[in-house]
Structure 1
Amino acid sequence: MSVEGWKTILVLGGIRSGKSEFAESLVADAPVVRYIATAGEGDPEDTEWATRLAAHRARRPGSWTSEETAGEPRRLADVISSAEPNETLLVDDLGGWVTVLLDPDHQPADDLATVAELAEAIGSCAARVVLVSPEVGLSLVPTTPLGRAFTDALGAVNRAVADACDSVVLVVAGQPVPLKPAAVPPTAAAPSVAAAPATGTASVGSGSSPDDVEPTPEVQLPDVLTHTPPVAPNQEPGNPWAAPTMALPMVSTGLVIQPGMELPMPDEYAGPQAVDRLATLDVPGAGLGVLDRVVGFAAATQGTSTPQAWGSVRVLLLHGDHAGGASAGAVAGESARRAAQARAGRGALARLAAESGASLQVVDTPAAAPIEDGPALTVDQVESALRYGWRLAEQAADAGVQLLVLAACGAGTEAAAAAVLAATAGAEPPAVLGRVFTDAGAIDDAAWMIRCAAVRDALHRTRHSPRGAKDVLSELGGGDVAVATGVLLGATARRVPVLLDGPVGMAAGMVSRDLAGQARHWCLLADHGGHPAVRLAADVLGLNPLLDLRMDLGEGANALVALPLLRSVLALAAALPVHPSLVGDEALDEPATPETAPVDTAPDEDDDDVEPGPTTEPDRDAEPDFVEPEPAGPGPTSTEPDAQPASGWRAG
């Protein structure tokens, strides 16, 4: 059984019921765990008790930290209330805590007040907390006053803690039985990206008309998908596309996304094996050329040396505007119009998605404030946007999506991406800001200078600010970059590759390095589009663009143009047979090699002196028809072909 959606959970059970093992399994994959031991050492001569304690210690991973509260039971509430959001606490157990609480050495004391403090600390704790406690209320009433005092006190503590916790589980004979589910299951609703104007209208200028824009009442996980082909969840056993998300810290509002997360890496052996296999296929010359990287990438992310073409593809179109100088030169309401077009199945992106059989999901992100004046987003908005993006990737993985295409449309996105690159890679804004074009196709140098000035002022304003991932998203990035970063992290956790295209996706890739360095290994860049910011970010992230088409159809559309080519390469690599020269003669039923080939038994007209027969051998002393001439000048000392081409490919 797995328990989801909890922040604080009480695990009850009898003696040897398996409650501690179950509690430890809930936090086994958490990156930061503090084990709170409440029981004292006991009588030194009690070897059985010492053995129990040793068994508990032996089960704890070496990465866990332990803390003792037996010396002062009231300190347990302080430890829980002071825990950080990125921590996970395991308290084992409350029976030992009550024993110490009732010890005469700690009396007189207000035990009821201490229990109330503990319940209040659990209810207000920012970290995840797992508490283990014995359930003694099902046994007989003890016959001794001390026994009755213990059971009464423990019963009161269990009731108070159960009321303060989100979930309660009773473990009976090793089987967990839920008593109190989480108030909000994790799949019930998406976390709201709050505190930002959440309408489909543009936040730049005032020239947009309400009739031209499809309003959106609030920013939430959209259910609108256009051009969605029938997709069955890809949940077959052993399918790497359906691998579950690793356990990560959770709070009541979702995941705790923090720097240094350990997310999965692609298969380090499958990629090189797939590329080596290409050299054996029945193709002429160098075969697929530079597109062999597509095969290696797909093999590593799918975990097999014979990867398949991506069948189910989803395009995530992130729509979010940036106010202030970042959007200089942008037509008011244009991005909202394009988002509404995509929802209706019109426009370049929607048509390309339909041609590719890909689903298209339009996602509204929080509008960003002018970065030259203050932070683009609040800290809470950044946290919510990251979790929101993660949930988008999770939703796609649960639907069997095998490839995500990250797209974006919004006023000022290029300037925001340039600001992120300047903060994370030390780039100069003019070097990474692309030219600004008017509707008529003319270059707008004045708008370009305003954007450069806005990014310059934002960098000057934040020159003393931290450069952590969340700080950069809050000060400079904005809602679209924050949601895109969450998508990359969530896709990495679910082993779903992402096809990037444009400055927003690349800026998200730069930010994700601080949160989880594994994310960039799940990204593929189809084309840089001639954009300077994309080129710089690709160089930093080690993503070599596959193509150089220099199209400018909008972020995400360029990737969809390349998608059929990438699919064709994968399908070809998976279907082509091995070259006949690399397969045994018997298996191919081909003529034997010259060394073992039988000599023609029919006599030639000119060879009257040769007796025909199957055992006739050529005259080895006869002069050959052709002799390789010696080179006249300097050159190689041998004209024999190499055993294997230097490139590693089979010669054509």
Structure 2
Amino acid sequence: MSVDGWHTLLVLGGIRSGKSEFAESLVADAPTVRYVATAPAGDPEDTEWAGRLAAHRARRPGSWTTEETAADPGRLAELITAAGRHDTVLVDDLGGWVTVLLDPAHQPADDTATVAELAAAVRASQARLVLVSPEVGLSLVPTTPLGRAFTDALGATNRAVADACDAVALVVAGQTAWLKPPTPAATTPATPGSTPAARPAAPGSLGATPAEPATGPGTAESRPADRPWAPSTASTPDPGGRAVPDVALPEVLTPTAAPVPTPGQGGTSGAGDWAAPTMALPMIATGLVIQPGMELPMPDDYTGPQAVDRLATLDVPGAGLGVLEQVVGFAAATQGTATPRPWDAVRVLLLHGDHDGGASAGAAPGESARRARQARAGRGALARLAAENGASLQVVEAPTSAPFEDGPALPADQVEAALRYGWRLAEQAADAGVQLLVLAACGAGAEATAAAVLAATAGAEPPAVLGRVVNEQGEIDDAAWMVRCAAVRDALHRTRRSPREAHDILSELGGGDIAMATGVLLGATARRVPVLLDGPVGTAAGMVSRDLAGQARHWCLLPDHGGRPGVRLAADVLGLTPLLDLRLDLGEGATALAALPLLRSALTLAATLPVHPSLGGGAEDESFAEPEPAGPGPATTGADEPDFAEPEPAGPGPATTGADEPVFPGRRAD
């Protein structure tokens, strides 16, 4: 879970500085907290130490659970690694952990390796994690060997953990200063029912952000005061240490905070933003009910063909736009005009929702969460391509799906909540003036889940639509592919007698990210916003949306199939013809962004090129001046001038006669 730019935080502070109270306030909103106590019990006769421990215990709510690591320092890294995406862990503190680590009872031991293991666990953590540690760097160097060993070990631990955390705060005399600020999140102006994500929070509250974030690699350097949501720039040193020009970062948005239910917990869909009614349509004013057979808008039936027919009349030297004519027809139909304009305001919705069980076989633990954090920080392929296209990027957390081979991937009430939340995301984009949505995803196990949905909705054979598994080293992992195939087979066998309606498919097989993507497609259709699909999650959502609103597929465009067999089959069923065959594999959504400049170029030509002169087109260039003729006579004639100018006569007399003059003006009147 990421909150206001961070999900792992180190809180430093001196003795009685208030660091523990501040750390506890950061997780006070969590329904449950795993409190990890690291300090040893100490001397039973030391009443002062016992009092300190008792004060800490008294502050913990009854819903918190406490775990001790004093017996084994290595267990701390294990606890952090085992924590899931929806867990909240508070470690208090690393000073006690180092004390136990240096205890002679644990020697000989490789203390450096243990610290490195802890830092690695923090960096890969999927949980919402807060660690508390004393700051010893401001004191004098101890005069005893044991004291120097402690300060050196704790200082090295603090440095390693601070580097691994998303943010670092220093508490001095009860006042908090941010040494490593959370990644600043830019957002669009607030719309009714939404809350800007980048806002100052009260001291000690969850997600408090500094007024002036520090600059540096990967952080926002400046935003004008009158444009708090403007895209920022960042400078990044290259591996050789040379200065690299600043590069643009995408406008990274944070959706309105919403509780993400944990699989197996029912009854949560009625609370928070997931269940809040949307206000886009009159039917939604009293609460949105997403059900089969909804009547949503269709693109214009006439402007699309008109725009394609018009392309044949344009002044181009060749045969025209080729397959990109489909883009012009699609844009014309969705914009309701025969001369569509290129999409200016584009938003990328990156859905991050993992699938547990065999569907995620071969996926590196924590890799999808790292990709989501990378996108929030404006880094990685998707964020860079979004910046190049001037598109905003919104990272959305979807519920984690349970192993579908063992039971439903998501409870029915949470499926409804995810659908509604996806609809609301599309509405918020439409209210912000977004003209095009790009649907992206980065969850572990998404491709296998999409294959299961495709098998259930189109009768496909799972091995035929499930792509090969490629590990982090770029090698094909056949063993992981077989595990995924077996998981899909078992899930389909388990649900062979289950209904095949949209809600049932999402609950039994699809899970959180596909349910949310389906809601996005439906909401975008309701608000007449076209969507670029790119990958298994988007196409699987398109398959499910057919049962809810058949109009949704007509608002979707597929730039590329990406070489994925499941995407190919889904596109064929949905009637979507992939425009390109780039075979890029940069993550779902990145191929659509890579193709977007080409699509915009086609729309620009269609909107600006004139009709060919042979077909009645106007003057090619108003600045063109016709050359003077070689012979006598005027070069041009005005609109009110006669076509023929009478030449000067050879004899005397005027060349022309006025209207009031006599017929023979040379004769004097009597």
Which whole-Å CA distance do the structure 2 matches of 1:245 and 1:297 have between them? 23
Q: Which residue of 1 aligns with 2:522?
A: 489
Q: 1:485 to 1:414 in 2, by over 3 A?
A: same
- Please name the residue that 1:339 is paired with: 372
Counterparts in 2 of 1:415 and 1:271: CA distance versus 1, 3 Å: same
Distance 2:195 2:543 in 1: 24
CA distance in 2, matches of 1:222, 1:352: 24
Picking from 501, 515, 524, the partner of 2:557 is: 524
Deviations 1:497-548 (Å, cap 9, x if unpaired)? 0000000000000000000000000000000000000000000000000000
TM-score (norm 2): 0.54
Is 1:330 matched with 2:363?
Answer: yes
1:268 to 276, 288, 301: 301
- 1:323–1:583 distance in 2 versus 1, CA, 3 Å: same
When the two structures are aligned, how many residues end up with a matched partner? 381
Q: What residue identity is the alignment partner of 1:517?
A: G
Partner of 1:211: 123
2:194 corresponds to 1:223? no
Contact 2:341–2:604 (CA<8 Å) still a contact in 1? yes
Shift of 1:249: 4.7
1:471 to 485, 490, 504: 504
2:426: which partner in 1? Answer: 393
Measured after TM superposition, the shift of residue 255 of structure 1 is: 1.1
Runs of 5+ consecutive residues of structure 2 not aligned to the other structure = 1-83, 90-117, 130-193, 199-228, 232-248, 254-278, 625-629, 633-643, 645-670
Give the equivalent residue in structure 1 for 2:465: 432
Runs of 4+ in 1 over 4 A off after TM superposition: 213-217, 224-231, 584-591
Q: 1:458 corresponds to which residue?
A: 491
Alpha-carbon offset, residue 378 of structure 1: 0.1
Q: Is contact 1:213–1:340 with CA below 8 Å preserved after alignment?
A: no
Secondary structure of residue in 1 paired with 2:500: coil
Q: Is the contact made by 1:527 and 1:545 (CA closer than 8 Å) also made in structure 2?
A: yes
C-alpha distance in 2 between matches for 1:549 and 1:587:
36
Name the amino acid aligned to 1:294.
Answer: V
**Structure with more relative contact order (C-alpha pairs < 8 Å, separation 6 or more):** 1
Structure 2 CA distance, aligned partners of 1:416 and 1:230?
Answer: 28
* Residue matched to 2:105: none
CA RMSD of aligned residues (A): 3.0
Residue of structure 2 equivalent to 1:374: 407
Note the 1:158-237 alignment, pairs <5 A. Answer: 198=86, 209-213=121-125, 223=197, 227=249
Residue of structure 2 in register with 1:535 after alignment: 568
1:408 aligned residue (428, 437, 441): 441
| 8 Å CA contact 1:213, 1:337 repeated in 2 | no
Matched residues in 1 for 2:382 and 2:252: separation?
20
CA deviation map 1:465-516 (0-9, x unaligned): 0000000000000100000000000000000000000000000000000000
Report the TM-score when normalising by structure 1: 0.55
Aligned to 2:104: none
- Quote the Cα distance in structure 2 between the aligned partners of 1:474 and 1:586: 62
Q: 2:502, 2:547 within 8 Å by CA — same for their partners in 1?
A: yes
Number of the residue aligned with 1:284: 317
Q: Is the 8 A contact 2:351 2:441 kept in 1?
A: yes
Which residue number corresponds to residue 36 of structure 1?
none
* Residues in 1 aligned to 2:623 and 2:376: alpha-carbon distance in whole angstroms: 57
The 5 A counterparts of 1:72-91 are none
Code of the residue aligned with 2:444 in structure 1: it is A
CA distance in 2, matches of 1:221, 1:536: 39
The 8 Å contact of residues 500 and 556 in structure 1, kept in 2 or not, is answered as yes
For 1:223, the aligned partner's letter is: A
| In structure 1, distance between residues paired with 2:619 and 2:581 | 45
Q: Residue 384 in 1 paired to residue 417 in 2? A: yes
Change (3 A) 1:583 1:407: same
Match of 1:572 among 605, 608, 631: 605
Partner of residue 538 from structure 2, selected from 492, 505, 516: 505
Q: 1:34-81 CA deviation, whole Å, 9 max, x = no partner? A: xxxxxxxxxxxxxxxxxxxxxxxxxxxxxxxxxxxxxxxxxxxxxxxx
Deviation at 1:198, TM superposition (A): 3.5
| Maintained 8 Å contact 1:250/1:256 | no
Kept in 1, the 8 Å contact 2:250–2:383? The answer is: no
Match of 1:255 in 2: 288
How far the C-alpha of 1:222 sits from its partner, in A, is 8.8
Deviates most, 566-575 or 366-375: 566-575
Identify if the C-alpha distance between structure 1 residues 295 and 476 changes in structure 2 by more than 3 Å, giving closer, same or farther.
Answer: same
Which of the residues 584, 589, 613 maps onto 1:556?
A: 589
Q: Offset of 1:438 from its aligned partner? A: 1.4
CA contact (8 A) 1:221 1:363 kept: no
In structure 2, the CA distance between the partners of 1:432 and 1:222, relative to structure 1 (3 Å rule), is farther
**How far apart in 1 are the matches of 2:516 and 2:196?**
13
Q: Does 1:351 align with 2:384?
A: yes
Structure 1: unaligned runs, 5 residues or longer: 1-195, 232-243, 592-599, 603-613, 615-652
Equivalent AA in structure 2 for residue 579 of structure 1: H
Q: Is the 8 A contact 1:506 1:534 kept in 2?
A: yes
Q: Secondary structure at the match of 1:478?
A: helix
* Distance apart, 1:572 and its partner CA: 1.2
The Cα of 1:210 is off from its aligned counterpart by: 3.1
How far apart, CA to CA, are the structure 1 residues paired with 2:311 and 2:424?
37
Residue from 335, 342, 346 that aligns with 1:309: 342
Query: What's the CA shift for 1:584?
Result: 6.5
What amino acid is aligned across from residue 211 of structure 1 in structure 2?
R
Q: Distance in 2 between matches of 1:345 and 1:590?
A: 46
Q: Structure 2: how far apart are the matches of 1:359 and 1:423?
A: 34
SS at match of 1:407: strand
Query: Are the aligned partners of 1:520 and 1:541 in contact in 2 as well (CA < 8 Å)?
Result: yes
